[in-house]
Amino acid sequence: MIITLTPNPSLDRTIELAQPLARGEVQRALAAHQEPGGKGVNICRALEASGVKSLAVLPGDHEDPVLLALRAEKIPHLGLPIGATLRSNVAITEADGTTTKVNEPGPELTTAQQADLVELVLREAAGASWLVLAGSLPPGFPADFYATVTSELRRRYGAAAPKVAIDSSGPPLAAAIAAGPDLLKPNAEELAELTGISDADSLEADPLLAAGAARTLVTAGVGAVLATLGSKGALLVTAEGSWLAKSPKIVARSTVGAGDSALAGYLLSHLTGATPPQCLRQAAAHGAAAASMPGSTVPALNQTNPDAVTVTVFATHPLEDDQ
């Protein structure tokens, strides 16, 4: 069982354009898609599509459109009533895969509701293999929310606590490092921000530099770093080694949810007892498959092609090696 917590879920609407987006103009959409969203929700959708038991924990009233959509897709979930409507996000995708997103901030939860959400996910996490803390935080949440949940989980369950994976951005992701999560999943921009590198493009251009940056997070107490580097592939760094995975070139339709699918692929493989390189291979295969699908569609295991993914073993960048 894998539990996910999505504090700021959304109803994701994707609009596909046949031509490049033209600001200030009227354009006709080629197609439109709508799915329940938020990182943890997307991960559960991908897990369920592959027959792996999961539970999405999130705030939201029983009749909220996001929860209605989850029920329609038969995604196991548990919502905490908050008396407010969850947010909607819009993504506009162009023919070459370029994606423009507009995300609403989401409803503000009271301090009591925040505490209830923490208690709800801790209760459900008993006996789980992984707890995934994912996505942005709603207005009013403390930046160390994910770190607090991680610490409380381990205090409550000790050695029996599930492994913790965190996929977020900005201050919540930075604060989570202190809690020593088992897995951190940044993209290139987030990895650059976490490690003080001014140019995220340099990390995508130089995977060895990215590996060195990720290693600083492992040295700081993170168990493993799964970094998605866009078209350059995906990187996995642990205390034991570093690996880079590259998928064959694809025709991208939408990058919405591709990183979430990559994390789901990693978890699917980890549950089978796979080695770190094998987990990375499936992560890359899942991410590539998701990017080739419309909207925020997530792939099932049988829709991925891990055999086509090349995994390379390499050392960290010399400038980033431990002294």
Weakest-pLDDT range from 180-194, 196-210, 251-265, 305-319: 305-319
Residue 321's pLDDT is 41
What's this model's pTM, rounded to 2 decimal places? 0.91
Q: How far is Cα 272 from Cα 242, in angstroms, rounded to an integer? A: 21
Q: How many CB atoms lie within 10 A of CB 39?
A: 26
Q: Where are the domains of the chain?
A: 2-320
Q: How is the beta sheet containing 10-16 ordered, strand by strand?
A: 31-37, 10-16, 87-93, 99-103
Q: Which residues contact 198 (CB under 8 A, 6 or more apart)?
A: 192
Question: Quick one: tokens of 273?
Answer: 């007892």
Q: How far is Cα 146 from Cα 154, in angstroms, rounded to an integer? A: 13
* Active-site residue identified among 96, 260, 321, 322: 260
pLDDT digits (tens, 9 = 90+) for 223-244: 999 999 987 889 999 999 999 9
Please answer whether residues 170 and 137 qualify as being in contact, where contact means their C-beta atoms are separated by less than 8 angstroms: no
**CATH 1.20.1260.10 is held by the domain 2-320:** no
Query: pLDDT grade, residue 254 (50/70/90)?
Result: low
Distance of CA 210 to the CA centre of its chain: 18
Q: How far is Cα 206 from Cα 194, in angstroms, rounded to an integer? A: 17
Please answer whether residues 279 and 269 qualify as being in contact, where contact means their C-beta atoms are separated by less than 8 angstroms: yes
- For residue 93, the cross-strand partners are 16, 99
Q: How far is Cα 310 from Cα 137, in angstroms, rounded to an integer? A: 35
More confident residue, 322 or 192: 192
Give yes or no for residue 16 having a pLDDT over 60: yes
More confident residue, 297 or 255: 297
Coil, helix or strand at residue 184: strand
User: What sign does the CA torsion over 223, 228, 232, 233 have?
Assistant: positive
Residue 157's pLDDT is 98
Indicate the DSSP class of residue 159.
Answer: G
Give yes or no for residue 266 having a pLDDT over 50: yes
Query: pLDDT grade, residue 248 (50/70/90)?
Result: confident
Give yes or no for residue 320 having a pLDDT over 60: no
Please answer whether residues 84 and 104 qualify as being in contact, where contact means their C-beta atoms are separated by less than 8 angstroms: no
Strands 130-134 and 163-167: parallel
Q: Cα torsion at 268, 271, 274, 280 (round to 10°)?
A: 40
Residue 232's pLDDT is 84
Length of the chain: 323
User: What sign does the CA torsion over 113, 1, 128, 307 have?
Assistant: negative
Q: Is 260 a catalytic residue?
A: yes
